[in-house]
Amino acid sequence: MSILVGKETKLLVQGITGRDGSFHARMMKEYGTNVVAGVTPGKGGSSVDGIPVFNSVHEAKEKTGANTSVIFVPARFAVDAIYEAIDAELDLIVCISEGIPTLEMAKVMSYLRGKKTRLIGPNSPGLISPEEAKVGILPGHIFKKGSIGVISRSGTLTYEIVYHITNSGFGESTCIGIGGDQIIGTKFIDCLKLFREDDETEAVVLVGEIGGQDEEETAAWIRENFNKPVFGFIAGKTAPPEKRMGHAGAIISGGSGTAPEKIKAFKEAGIIVGETPKEVAERVKERLS
């Protein structure tokens, strides 16, 4: 079974008339996702590849029953797009936009408290439940329906690990790119809670990165609360010390948040860690075959 997105997803695309929005709306539709609407203020009444465009999220939801939004909006407008989708009481928002200031995201997270909406991202590649729905920019052809849940802070590394998992004979139940920024709407533990309740997810792969303490906190939670096999990979083992890396979340301060620390925490929690993306898939096959 899938989590978060599936056959029941009715997707609207915020920023659908832009270059990225129009391209990926078409890709998601071709994959089989039920893309019911697009939103671009001032472009209401037009269409993109047969998808009707509305001036507001509220109008799009009212006319189409949309329950999920994916945001392809430049960073300076993306926060307002998130607020608009929250106010429309959508079930899920997936924010692809990157470069949103951390302070603005802190305000968004405060606003989300007590609301029904879940936010994935920002700076997320999206998520996919193979053969059901793709929301975001993930390359659908490398995924296969199966029993491995994947949660990742990295974009391209996710694709490589999934490629090897698929080629090893296993498929994915749902793959979630949670985003690489310091403040994100949904974290590893939030996703693990959903996979824990999914009978068709047999095991989970975590793809972490240097910076922050999310991986260490997740490892501690897994030790006490998660009884399915967990496999892990940490990106950034070769990052030079005292350097700020590309992702906003990949900031190492005071010697904490390093790859060795995260790998140690994973192993102490019983997580099976691969040294390379291919090795992660090999460990999955060894453990589950």
Alpha helices in the chain (DSSP H): 19-31, 57-64, 75-87, 102-112, 156-167, 188-196, 214-225, 259-268, 277-288
Beta-carbon count within 10 A of 198 CB: 17
19 is in an annotated binding site: yes
Instruction: Please state the φ and ψ torsions of residue 73, each to the nearest 5 degrees.
Output: -130, 140
| CA dihedral for 207, 211, 214, 217, sign (positive or negative) | positive
20 is in an annotated binding site: yes
Catalytic residue among 58, 141, 164, 247: 247
Helix, strand, coil shares of the chain, percent, nearest 5, are: 35, 20, 40
* 263, 231 Cβ separation under 8 angstroms: no
Edge-to-edge strand list for the sheet holding 47-48: 47-48, 51-54, 35-39, 11-14, 68-71, 92-95, 118-120
Cα separation of 236 and 216, whole Å?
A: 15
Q: Is 247 designated active site? A: yes
43 is in an annotated binding site: yes
17 is in an annotated binding site: yes
18 is in an annotated binding site: yes
Cα separation of 233 and 262, whole Å?
A: 9
Q: Which residues are annotated as a binding site for CoA?
A: 17-20, 43
Q: Which residues are annotated as a binding site for substrate?
A: 159
Catalytic residues: 247
Q: Which residues are annotated as a binding site?
A: 17-20, 43, 159
